[in-house]
Amino acid sequence: MNVASVQQASPASGGVHTAGPVARDAPSIVPLQVKAAVEGAAEMTAERIVVLDVGDVLAITDWFIIASAPNVRRVRRIAELMESHVKAAGGPGPIRTEGLDEAQWVLLDFGEFVAHIFHEPTREYYDLERLWSDVPRHEFD
């Protein structure tokens, strides 16, 4: 997975375009540790990886990563790989982890960002992308 293949979807336009060079301090720049977590998810072939920039509307974190897998074993492995990739990029481990036992919806809270790894039917049910459809969205190929 090449993190350079990020695409940004504009909620206002409904379109998707390849993200070009952006100013270093622009809010749409995905931080290194978020990219590292995405790489970890992609290594385990997580499905439909999306990063939402929730910093302007949510006080507790700046970014959501949403990914899914077709079975709970892969959900757990994606969570493990996300954590190891963030640590390898110089980031901390998660402040809190929830849902790892059942692995229907695993939440990894890294402070600056929160990763949501779903078993696919659970992702469809909760549909977080719809709930946060008004924030900038980055999709990874």
Tell me: the pLDDT tens digits for 28-38? 688 999 999 99
106: in domain: yes
Domain CATH code at residue 108: 3.30.460.10
pLDDT (average), residues 86-94? 96
Number of helices (H) and strands (E), helices first, in the chain? Answer: 4, 8
pLDDT the model gives residue 8: 41
What is the spatial distance between Cα 65 and Cα 46, in angstroms, rounded to a whole number? 11
Inform me whether the pLDDT recorded for 19 exceeds 50. Answer: no
Inform me whether the pLDDT recorded for 20 exceeds 50. Answer: no
pLDDT the model gives residue 87: 97
9: in domain: no
Burial 13-41 (b: 16+ CB within 10 A, else e): eeeeeebeeeeeeeeebbeebbbbbbbbb
More confident residue, 24 or 96: 96
38: in domain: yes
pLDDT the model gives residue 141: 65
Type of residue at 137: R
Boundaries of domain holding 44:
30-133
Cβ–Cβ contacts within 10 Å for residue 135, how many?
17
pLDDT the model gives residue 124: 97
10: in domain: no
84: in domain: yes
Return the beta strands (E) in the chain as ranges.
Answer: 6-9, 16-18, 47-53, 63-69, 96-98, 105-109, 113-119, 137-140
- Number of domains the chain is built from: 1
pTM, two decimals, is 0.80
Partners of residue 137 on adjacent β-strands? 9, 52
Distance of CA 88 to the CA centre of its chain: 17
25: in domain: no
16: in domain: no
First-to-final CA distance of the chain: 7
